[in-house]
Structure 1
Amino acid sequence: MLYKEIHIGKFIKERVIEKEIAIERICNFLNKDEDFVEAIYTSKSVDTDLLLRWCKLLEYDFFRLYSSHLILYAPPSAVNKNANKSEKIPYFRKNIYTQEIKEFIIKRILSGEMTQSEVIREYSIPKSTLHRWLQKSDDTNE
């Protein structure tokens, strides 16, 4: 799965289909009409409060799609990381790499699309972390 372009409405619709949730239940839960729900399915973006309600209804963390995008396509700068810490909002010390991200990166290396050095440089993944992923990947493939 590629995280570069996120069309959240398509993901929401797909999850509704997977969970086989009736439109009436969705409308009642969101306190909206069917036209509104159909409009969400075609929306590239959704208000965060509304997205949180969808997450609860569909039992799926749609925000992880955006976190994955940030990890892959907007890695934090290695320069002076502590200078931007805020006392008013939470600061997250580590990147959380989901299994999907790990598989995505390993697949790019194994296919020859990227070298290990390119992955480390492009995504700011520590060398030891990448080697651990590759080692675990080799262990599971044997």
Structure 2
Amino acid sequence: MHKAMDVDFKEIHIGSLIKTRVKEMDMDMNRICSNLKLQEKEINNMYEQDTLETKVLLKWCKLLEYDFFRFFSQHLILFTSPVGVNYNKPIESVLPQFRKNLYTKEVIFYILEIIENNEKTQREVVNDYKIPKSTLRRWMIKYKVK
């Protein structure tokens, strides 16, 4: 089993994440250029970008068989107010409603690592990320964090 790379969910640099995945897959530049219909220089330029157009990112997701949009979902989970704490009048929407409290293992491990490395206290994690104390305690017991 390999160790996942440390990802800053607050400051996402999508180009470097794509470049990492390309290296992992040992993907040939000709295949990338052909699939994205771009020149090598344009591809290398994308690796330097912290953001990409959605349609372009979707093409990368398909080519590299990896959901890069999850980084942004995790950002929303960690850095937005919890559902239900809306100080404005709730808006009815025809758009699908997603539950916020579905934490991925990556987010759980990210939070627990912050605590283990003394970057934040449990109280700070609860306050900053709006994670219920009971949820944090369950994670700490389940994943044996002191």
Segment of structure 1 superposing worse, 64-73 or 42-51: 64-73
Aligned to 1:67: 73
2:14 maps to 1:8: yes
Runs of at least 5 residues in structure 2 that lack an aligned partner in the other structure: 1-5
Deviations 1:5-57 (A, max 9, x none): 11111111111111011111111111222222112111111001110110111
Over the residues paired in the alignment, what is the CA RMSD in angstroms?
Answer: 2.1
Give the counterpart letter for 1:105 in structure 2. Answer: I
1:26-37 alignment, distance < 5 Å: 26-37=32-43
5+ long unaligned stretches in structure 1: none
Q: In the alignment, what sits opposite 1:99?
A: 105
Paired positions, count: 139
How far apart, CA to CA, are the structure 2 residues paired with 1:87 and 1:72?
A: 23
- Tell me which of 44, 53, 59 is aligned to 2:50: 44
Deviations 1:98-120 (A, max 9, x none): 21211111122233332222211
Match status 1:136 vs 2:142: yes
Structure scoring higher RCO (CA < 8 A, sep ≥ 6) equals 1
Residue of structure 1 equivalent to 2:94 = 88
Partner amino acid for 2:78? L
Structure richer in helix, relative to its length: 1
* Aligned AA (1:30): L
Amino acid at match of 1:88: V
Query: Where does residue 17 of structure 1 map in the other structure?
Result: 23
Identical residues among aligned pairs (%): 47
TM-score (norm 1): 0.86
Quote the Cα distance in structure 2 between the aligned partners of 1:76 and 1:4. 16
Letter of the 1:40 partner, please give it: M
